[in-house]
Amino acid sequence: MLSRIDNSSSMLLRSTNSTKKTEETGKLQKSSLQSQDNVSTEAAELNISVDSFVRSKSSEDSDLSESRSSGKKSSAVDVSKADKYGVSKLSESERSEIISQLKDEQEAIQAKFLQKMTSGTLGEQFRQWSAANAQLTQDGDGIWKFIASGNYTVDAETKAAAQEAISDGGYFSVENTSQRIFDFVSAFAGDNVELMKNLQSAVTAGYNEATKAWGGELPEISKKTLEATNQLFDDYYKQHGA
């Protein structure tokens, strides 16, 4: 189940990124590329998630105290005052950092997932399934169709970790995943309502792309995640009288 949500969110992010390239000038993209190496290093030193970067619930003093005691650098963004729509209010450079962090985080998750899928017992099950279903693997989405088939078993530890990840408050929960998708769009669009609307269409396109790769209807949690993401957009538009 963990991999199912990873697939959906990954494709939503990729589709949103692609649409941005056609809707906006290359100014922000250039800034993002220039800062990516520095941000990757900073993120590793901070050892924090994107959620912590944009929506920390601890006070600024607590963050500073913890940073000093651990020897880690403090974030350049005052996350203690951010809310679920806070990303759109950040400066261009701060939004570029968030974009880079989201990309790095997603790539790391994807790499870890693919490593899991191609090694050990699960990897062997995938190879056997691929050999028996060659007609389904020619489009490059065979790995997702394999997961959708349900014709495999996982160890108890992996199953428990997946269940924890999609539960309330988990990394891949409906609330957290929808917020990351919205943050990614907000980081690109800033506070541009019309661009937000265009990028919302890209989110829907990404969901449809994920459905195609899946080979059928996505799991219920993916549908709920899309609904929660659209609700964030709707609430944002209401705030702006759109």
pLDDT tens-place values along the chain, 242 residues long: 444 444 444 554 555 444 444 444 444 444 444 444 444 444 444 444 444 444 433 334 444 444 434 443 333 344 333 477 888 888 889 999 999 998 999 899 888 888 887 788 888 998 999 899 888 777 778 888 888 988 889 888 888 988 999 999 898 999 999 999 999 999 999 889 999 999 999 999 999 999 998 988 999 999 999 999 999 999 999 998 87
| Dihedral, 120, 49, 193, 228 alpha carbons, nearest 10 | 60
What is the pTM (predicted TM-score) of this model? Answer: 0.65
Q: Which of 145, 49, 170 lies closest to 102, judged by CA?
A: 49
pLDDT value for 11: 52
Nearest CA-CA partner of 98 in 79, 81, 116:
79
Enter the tokens of residue 100. 């880079």
How far apart CA 84 and CA 55 sit, in angstroms, is: 7
Integer-rounded Cα Rg, in Å, for the chain is 19
Q: Give the three-class secondary structure for 47.
A: coil
Distance CA 36, CA 58 (A): 26
197, 204, 209 from 14: Cα distances, Å = 17, 12, 10
- φ, ψ of residue 5 to 5 degrees: the values are -70, -35
Location of structure tokens 């506070």:
191
According to the model, what pLDDT value does residue 241 have?
A: 86
Per-residue model confidence (pLDDT) at position 70: 42
Task: Assess contact for 67 and 73: CB atoms under 8 A.
Answer: yes
**What's the rounded Cα separation, in Å, for the pair 223 and 211?**
10
Q: Which residues of 30-65 are buried (b: 16+ CB within 10 A; e: fewer)?
A: ebbeebbeebeebbeebebbbeebbbbeeeeeebee
Residue extents of the structural domains in the chain: 2-37+91-239
CA dihedral 173, 28, 17, 193 (to 10 degrees): 70
Task: State the pLDDT at residue 184.
Answer: 92
What's the CA angle centered on 221, arms 141 and 194, to 5 degrees?
85
